[in-house]
Amino acid sequence: MRLGSGAFAASCVAIEVIGVAIFIRGFFPAPVRSSARPEHDAETPAPEPVAGVRSNWTKLPPPLFSKVVIVLIDALRDDFVFGSKGVKYMPYTTYLVEKGASHSFVAEAKPPTVTMPRIKALMTGSLPGFVDVIRNLNSPVLLEDNVLRQAKAAGKRIIFYGDETWVKLFPKHFVEYDGTTSFFVSDYIEVDKNVTRHLDKVLKRGDWDVLILHYLGLDHIGHISGPNSPLIGHKLSEMDSVLMKIHTSLLSKDRETLLPSLLVLCGDHGMSETGSHGASSTEEVSTPLLLISSAFERKPGDIRHPKHVQQTDLAATLAIGLGLPIPKDSVGSLLFPVIEGKPMREQLRFLHLNTLQLSKLLQENVPSYEKDPGFEQFKMAEKLHGNWVKLHLEENHSDILLGLGTKVLRHYLGALKTLSLSLSTQVAQYDMYSMAVGTLIVLEVLALFLLSTPHVLCRKAELDVPLLSPVFSLLFYLVFLVLSAIHVLVCTSSESSCYLCSLSWLAVGAVMLLVSALFCAILSALIRMVIDSTLLKKNAADASSGWSEVNLLLLLGTVGHVLSLGASSFVEEEHQTWYFLINTLCLALSQETCRSYFLGDECEPQRHSHVEQQCVNLLACPLQDSTSYNTPESGTAGKRVSLLEAQGSCKWWTVLASPWLVLLCCRLLRSLNQTGVQGAHRPDFSHWLTSSDHKVQLSGLAALSLVVIFMLVQRRCSLVSKVALALGLLGVFCYRAAIGIVQFPWQSDNKGISKGIIEARFVYVFVLGILFTGTKDLLKAQVIATDFKTKTVGLWEMHSGLVLLAALLLRPHNLPVLAFSLLIQTVMTKFIWKPLRHDAAEITVMHYWFGQAFFYFQGNSNNIATIDISAGFVGLDTYMEVPATFLTVFGTYVGPVLWASHLVYFLSSEGNNSALSRSCFCYALICSVPVATYIVLVTSLRYHLFIWSVFSPKLLYEGMHLLITAAICAVFTATNQTRHRRA
Amino acid sequence: MKDTDIKRLLYTNLLCVFSIFLSIFIPSFFVDNFSVLEAHLTWLCICSASVTTVNLLSYLVVKPNVSSKRSSLSHKVTRALKCCVFFLMSCFLLHIIFVLYGAPLIELVLETFLFAVVLSTFTTVPCLCLLGPNLKAWLRVFSRNGVTSIWENSLQITTISSFTGAWLGAFPIPLDWERPWQVWPISCTLGATFGYVAGLVISPLWIYWNRKQLTYKNN
Ligand SMILES: [Zn+2]
Ligand SMILES: [Zn+2]
């Protein structure tokens, strides 16, 4: 079977996508979830267990507290309250901790120690898995069962003041709220004043049941000046006085009501020694949790060592305290000291409810739940509990009752602890079998790629894929049988749940067929390579002559980047790697232009004259890319001619200056968006632009960028698409003006803000129109077989359609990124790639590098939080999953996609048969090498401290990038197909 | 090419290495608590000065470039002035390149500039000593097969290794080890210094090793 190398690459990447998908499914375990959706509740609460007689207590127990006030101080570390700082700056709180009616704990937050997941953990009691992060990307509303939802359903009135995140998570839950934005990290006074100013009024009114206050100032101080700054002390004193105010007010109210109230002081996460958070160091995960209520007993002396509990325990405790059902997905266990003072029957009842909820969750998530020690303990405790209730109802002896009761209590507490632990660890279990199969597929594809590289790059852009040869078919069946046997063995022996085992036999069979087919293909490629190398051994001559500095840099840079993915810091700061690489690339290009201009390139060996000989070197080194797209005959003329040509078409100094221009553009873009972890909080140009004071400047810049985009794109378009492009870009500006981000000069400042649906759809029409014209031109070129021109114009129109879509989706402050990307493409094409005659492989790698750098220039990072989900809502009035996902993905990967589409256009316009096909192969290769290496790295680093905070998001990004690469390769092949038929 | 030439090259290079070592150890006798990391800027100045001196001295004593052409005093003065201008130009050019690579534009200007000075001491000063202010000769030396003597060969090796050292020196900056030497531009200056020293040591050895294969147009 003969395949073009483009088609070969596209199918290989498609298979690789399957492999990565299987790997990711095994790597990210499905989160612990209750199957019952929160919508259908109203189920009756579990009755008290009884042995024989009927219980007279089937309703939920009454609430323990009438009012609950939650004071959440962002980034409150445990030693700020319990340590020396607490003693010094928080005297009232220290008094409450040591002598007051309170219970103090150190609550451990699970990474990622970032505000939103932590609020979720506090309110739902569940541990958000990474799959959740993806699932909830589209709607910030918390869909899972949580305490606030239950409280609202029970008719409680909730008031909230503080961080806006809460309002986004719980949009309809509060009867009154005032969200402060956490956007300006430099402000640490106003954010807290905005919360405290409501306090007096609300405390006096008392017409609420739950009051939540989220103070952001401390976190901001931490980000500005670290945990040892003197500002921290002031802030803690301020918080202490707030707490005192609330507590005294609650105490005075307590006298009037029957039930006492509860005051909760907690932090969402801690603060590292540098003042940041997000990872899993002890300072970041330890937060204080202080429960204050007159219902608790006063303590005689000071307790200096608070007990360690989980942050997720608060949800269950609050639910019990307010007399609500415990959230279904909660994995926390009730904080026992809170109910310690109640009668034995109530205590047992509460513990039973909590244990029952946990064991239900376990039943739904673990197939072999009956073997779990926690579950066994629970069954035991439930039985004893039943006996106890029976005894209690029969008015038995109080001594025996007490003795038995304590025993039941102990059993329940043990069961709670074990269940909670096994549910939390359930999240962190890897499905090694699926991971191994996924890795196997990816590595096989990579091996196939590497083995066919020399063949594709030197000979012709076609490959023999000998799948049908009889020898291999025997081997094929053999491998298939072995794999199936292994599969049966693994699936029957393993206890834990496994994704592949839960698949149907047909799907598993298909995967196994794929694996064995790939295996045979690799073997055949190996044999072919051995034959090739014996044939070509004689020709093996001068090895290093084909290496220019740029070639060396491209190879070393690619290898270096792949290796850097093993270090968490390099993953966090990957943008630095790419900026560094493209800078070096520009300097190398500058050196090349200098040398070929000043020295007339006489020292340069004739790179393009000995293509055949260089192919021999290629066998030794798969990544070297020396085959030019200009044929050997024209190549012998050397670079001197090309430079003379260049001088004819453009001034020599433009050639010399162009790498420096590109460098300057890159430096400007770099200061537009700060990204990564270390630099994310540094001030940058985009923050300045997006602040509301600089709307005029933002409008000006956006308009200028749109004009530049139009100027750069329109030159190669046909007249129709020129007009469409102009109208479309105008529509982009109108859209941004309609949603109130930019303004027209004649517009007044306070104009009504709409969603801009009409404007956005207006632009979509033009995008589709331009894409349609482009496709039409392409098809015409294929059918009529006219000159290249129609086809080139068609491809450029496709490119400009994508540019228009990108202009619509990118936020206005990112429009310069788009303009600069087009500028760099134009400059590089005109002054570097054409005059210097780089070959297809070099150009492909350069396009890939620039695409990656532009991915980060637009403000992306390897952190999920930087994805701009607002792109998914452009022009849609309701949330629609498919278009929203497509738009978000396109908006995120604008850089790589636009550079790839430019690559297709550029190589087609050069008009060489095999260049496009080779380039497609190179592109697929260079994209799949990092993915394959990264999968192996992640597997070996799966117990690394930063696996969830750093490596997992990057894995998702890599997976998505591979999917996009597959799409790009498919387009490559499609364009190439027309060429083949024509030629 | 004779072995004596290589020997002379070796001794000059070792002298340069020695001057760098001196710049590390001598100041601690005069200044209290001197260390390369803490008083980094001072060290940069001292190191740059000592390397420049040694290069000039070795140029005057050894005179590797056989420019037999007698020249007048005024010619020599303009030549020296031109050299100074070239040196300053290279400092500014390197500074600009560092900023393009992402060095902060306003903060740490002095640090960045001193790094540029040190790097051009390691690269431009030897070039000026050997080739004079002649851009074409520079380009020739740094392109493939353009070397005409072992001195130029050594120059090529040390310059490339200094630049590579500085380039590699930027790698540890993003790592989160929080060491004092990860601060900009300390790791880069250290990298450049190591690269320069390595180049000085390696180049005579490499030339000695390959003396059979090396054929220069002049010899
Ligand atoms: Zn926070
Ligand atoms: Zn923060």
Identify the pLDDT of residue A610.
39
Asked if B144 lies within 8 A of A584 by C-beta distance, the reply is: no
Peptide bond into B104 cis (omega under 30): no
- A114-128, A244-258, A709-723, A870-884: least confident range: A870-884
As a whole-number percent, the residues of chain A with pLDDT over 70 amount to: 83
Which of B97, B102, B140 comes nearest A599 by C-beta? B140
Of A127-141, A433-447, A641-655, A733-747, the range with the highest mean pLDDT is A433-447
Among all bound ligands, the one having the nearest atom to the CA of A275 is: 2
pLDDT digits (tens, 9 = 90+) for A719-747: 888 999 999 999 999 988 887 778 887 77
Chain A positions touching B145 (Cβ under 8 A) are 603
Identify the pLDDT of residue A129.
63
**Dist. CA A578 → ligand 2 center (Å):** 27
Single out the residue of A228, A266, A182, A282 nearest to residue A88, CA to CA.
A228
Single out the residue of A251, A237, A219, A234 nearest to residue A69, CA to CA.
A251
Asked if B100 lies within 8 A of A570 by C-beta distance, the reply is: no
Asked if A580 lies within 8 A of B102 by C-beta distance, the reply is: yes
Single out the residue of A450, A463, A440, A453 nearest to residue A516, CA to CA.
A440
DSSP A796-807: HHHHHHHHHHHH
pLDDT digits (tens, 9 = 90+) for A82-105: 888 888 999 999 988 888 888 999
Chain A positions touching B167 (Cβ under 8 A) are 584
Burial of A880 (0-12, 13-18, 19+ CB in 10 A): middle
Banded model confidence at residue B119, pLDDT cuts 50, 70, 90? very high
- Average pLDDT for residues A586-612, to the nearest whole number? 64
Among all bound ligands, the one having the nearest atom to the CA of A272 is: 2
B/e letters for A744-758, b = 16+ CB within 10 Å, e = fewer, are eeeeeeeeeeeebee
B/e letters for A15-25, b = 16+ CB within 10 Å, e = fewer, are bbbbbbbbbbb
Domains of chain B, by residue range, sit at: 3-63+72-210
Banded model confidence at residue A373, pLDDT cuts 50, 70, 90? confident
Chain B positions touching A671 (Cβ under 8 A) are 105
Which of B102, B140, B176 comes nearest A569 by C-beta? B176
Helix residue ranges per DSSP H, A394-466: 398-427, 432-458
- Mean pLDDT of all residues belonging to chain A: 82
- Average pLDDT for residues B50-63, to the nearest whole number? 84
Is the pTM value of this prediction over 0.90?
no
Q: What are the tokens at A656?
A: 């010399």
With tokens 């209690």, the residue in question is: A392
Q: What are the tokens at A296?
A: 């608790």
Q: What's A562-630 look like in SS3?
A: HHHCCCHHHHHCHHHHHHHHHHHHHHHHHHHHHHHHHCCCCCCCCCCCCHHHHHHHHHHCCCCCCCCCC
Asked if B100 lies within 8 A of A583 by C-beta distance, the reply is: yes
Q: Which of B97, B138, B140, B176 to mutate against chain A (most A CBs within 10 Å)?
A: B176
For residue A16, is pLDDT > 60? yes
Banded model confidence at residue A460, pLDDT cuts 50, 70, 90? low
Single out the residue of A372, A290, A318 nearest to residue A67, CA to CA.
A318
Q: Please state at what angle helix A840-857 crosses helix A815-827, rounded to 10 degrees.
A: 160
In the sheet that holds A102-108, the strands lie side by side as A176-180, A158-163, A210-215, A68-73, A262-267, A286-293, A102-108, A307-310
| 3-state SS, residue A216 | coil
Q: Which residue of B has its CA nearest to A678?
A: B174
Count of Cβ atoms closer than 10 Å to residue A656 Cβ:
15
**Dist. CA A74 → ligand 1 center (Å):** 4
- Average pLDDT for residues A174-191, to the nearest whole number? 76
- Average pLDDT for residues A467-473, to the nearest whole number? 64
With tokens 């609330």, the residue in question is: A246
Please give the backbone phi and psi of residue B131, each rounded to the nearest 5 degrees, phi first: -105, -15
Q: How far apart are CA A533 and CA B174, in angstroms?
A: 43
Chain A positions touching B97 (Cβ under 8 A) are 587
Identify the pLDDT of residue A586.
93
For residue A614, is pLDDT > 60? no
Asked if B144 lies within 8 A of A603 by C-beta distance, the reply is: yes
Nearest CA distance, B100 vs chain A (angstrom):
5
Chain B positions touching A583 (Cβ under 8 A) are 100-102
For residues A788 and A291, which has the higher predicted lDDT (pLDDT)?
A: A291
A70, A74, A80, A82: CA torsion to nearest 10: 40
Which of A569, A667, A670 comes nearest B175 by C-beta? A569
Chain B residues whose C-beta is within 8 A of a chain A C-beta are 97, 99-102, 105, 135-136, 139-140, 143-146, 167, 170, 173-176
Q: How far apart are CA A850 and CA A863, in angstroms?
A: 20
Banded model confidence at residue A978, pLDDT cuts 50, 70, 90? low
For residue A445, is pLDDT > 50? yes
Chain B positions touching A572 (Cβ under 8 A) are 174
**Dist. CA A848 → ligand 1 center (Å):** 37
Q: Which of B95, B96, B101 to mutate against chain A (most A CBs within 10 Å)?
A: B101
Identify the pLDDT of residue B194.
94
Identify the pLDDT of residue A482.
92
Chain A positions touching B173 (Cβ under 8 A) are 576
Here the ipTM equals 0.91
**Dist. CA A862 → ligand 2 center (Å):** 18
Identify the pLDDT of residue B56.
87
Identify the pLDDT of residue A621.
40
- Between chain A and chain B, the number of residue pairs with CB atoms below 8 A apart is 51
- Average pLDDT for residues A573-589, to the nearest whole number? 93
Asked if A603 lies within 8 A of B143 by C-beta distance, the reply is: yes
For residues A962 and A694, which has the higher predicted lDDT (pLDDT)?
A: A962
Q: How far apart are CA A792 and CA A796, in angstroms?
A: 6
- Average pLDDT for residues A834-850, to the nearest whole number? 89
Q: How far apart are CA A954 and CA A855, in angstroms?
A: 13
| 3-state SS, residue B216 | coil
Q: Which residue of A has its CA nearest to B164?
A: A584
